[in-house]
Structure 1
């Protein structure tokens, strides 16, 4: 099943072509690389000549921003009741992956429609907190936000304040996700929902190595020790090239579905609508188990 994040007002994927995407972040137009865009650009679209900033990738790795117009160091955009700080970073990202709004909608709807007031959520590789804030806003009794980057966790705290969610029970933890899960298991802690958005490669705060092909299955298996018997959902998101949705489907069947003994597994692509062509920009895959 394909999920499309089509409820944005402050964000828009205007057009794509020649390995780049043209985006509107509120009133700022950015042009950024995207390796999925292998089709040519339509040169008749004049919006390509009206960008505020353009990220140029270097042949030797990395890249830099060219600011055609004066762009704020950071600004905010909103999605429904949530507000996020966005900023053009040196590694082309802006601090937010807008396609994840499709997953946020699912999480918020599931929590709100559960009829339960005690829902503990664990968000691993939690970045700047989009899923964390979505779950807290929807009424989760506690959200634990874990990421190895102190800078990203601090950014998530800013987003919590911008979204007026400081009264919610959110625990921010800077730690290697694998170590945290194992420690929670020793403590006997359980969660009703587990979310993870692991990178292809990464390092923990103490140099711990992460490689998704080798460690995703063991991590999901370890999470079974902290997944409550009355769980609501388990959601995995991935941007790793070559990792298909069927891989997530197989893994979730062999782990979460097998343990829980019921529920259903749904997997597929996640994407953004392209305004100019009325097509969809693929933005990775998702896999989820949900109690039914």
Structure 2
């Protein structure tokens, strides 16, 4: 289990009844989480007096009930890294705090590489990993198909005082981008990917993680340099175990480049109970 335990601006205060009580800076939100199948031990006033509560709809989706006035967006920090937070209409806030466990790891790898490092961040969302890699001194290419998320990532880079760093933001279909990089002969020292469980490309192409991840991973190995630094895969797909990511990295990265693999769950500490909230899995290959 890799636990993001160094946060000061974020906290999982309590969990139960399919929900988590979270502090984002000074704002407290109550959001659903499918992993939380235990009851609330004590539904204190804090559970009821939140700033916002996201209610799931029985027909899918849901909506926010705002109980207190909050800014349209606000900023939280993870050490020197800064991020805009905004409740979206699909329950997310623009950041996955558990990923801080990966940010710290990749920053150490980049800083200690002793050479310039180029990073490709695929399915890059609002750029948590992009900000971390840029701060550590890497040049970064950030690719996501959603224009709004790419803009949000640009704002996070500016917010962190990294506008002068070599970061390219590309709004594109990730698979087509990788294929074009193959044809152009462009290479990277490290690749980060956070693939969705399911998705559609611009021409109706379907992505289903169980069918598409392995061939896509094989494609990505062809755009790595001869001396790559790391490959990181994150997954939130239910039913995929860390051992699956370990096996795929063994068959692709380790067979081609040697190195070592680690895989496991990723999580966040729960303040009230002292337990760990599981938040997905990761697989890491490193030289």
Q: TM-score range by the shorter chain?
A: over 0.9
* TM-aligned CA deviation for residue 206 of structure 1: 4.4
CA distance in 1, matches of 2:17, 2:254: 41
SS of the residue aligned with 1:159? helix
Tell me if 1:144 matches 2:166.
Answer: no
Evaluate the alpha carbon distance shift between residue 276 and residue 99 of structure 1 in structure 2; reply closer, same or farther with a 3 A threshold: same
8 A Cα contact 1:148 1:203, kept in partner: no
SS of the residue aligned with 2:47? helix
8 A Cα contact 2:17 2:38, kept in partner: yes
* TM-aligned CA deviation for residue 178 of structure 1: 1.0
CA distance in 1, matches of 2:89, 2:200: 19
CA distance in 1, matches of 2:79, 2:202: 33
Aligned match of 2:281: 285
Normalization by structure 2: what TM-score?
Answer: 0.98
Aligned match of 1:225: 222
Aligned match of 1:179: 176
Aligned match of 2:117: 119
CA distance in 2, matches of 1:42, 1:189: 54
* TM-aligned CA deviation for residue 167 of structure 1: 0.2
SS of the residue aligned with 2:264? strand
8 A Cα contact 1:174 1:205, kept in partner: no
* TM-aligned CA deviation for residue 228 of structure 1: 1.1
For 1:168-207, what aligned pairs fall within 5 Å after superposition? 168-207=165-204
Q: Which structure 1 segments of 5+ residues have no match?
A: none
CA distance in 1, matches of 2:55, 2:259: 45
8 A Cα contact 1:175 1:204, kept in partner: no
Aligned match of 1:135: 133
SS of the residue aligned with 1:96? coil
For 1:205-216, what aligned pairs fall within 5 Å after superposition? 205-216=202-213
Aligned match of 2:270: 274
* TM-aligned CA deviation for residue 73 of structure 1: 1.1
CA distance in 2, matches of 1:132, 1:207: 28
8 A Cα contact 1:175 1:205, kept in partner: no
Deviations 1:171-192 (A, max 9, x none): 1111111111111011111110
Normalization by structure 1: what TM-score?
Answer: 0.96
SS of the residue aligned with 2:212? helix
* TM-aligned CA deviation for residue 61 of structure 1: 0.6
8 A Cα contact 2:5 2:268, kept in partner: yes
Q: Which structure 2 segments of 5+ residues have no match?
A: none
8 A Cα contact 1:147 1:174, kept in partner: yes
Which of the numbers 248, 252, 258 marks the counterpart of 1:251? Answer: 248
CA distance in 2, matches of 1:168, 1:153: 16
CA distance in 1, matches of 2:209, 2:44: 39
Tell me if 1:3 matches 2:2.
Answer: yes
State the superposition RMSD in angstroms: 0.9
* TM-aligned CA deviation for residue 205 of structure 1: 4.1
* TM-aligned CA deviation for residue 203 of structure 1: 2.4
8 A Cα contact 1:128 1:155, kept in partner: yes
Q: When the two structures are aligned, how many residues end up with a matched partner?
A: 287
CA distance in 2, matches of 1:193, 1:93: 27
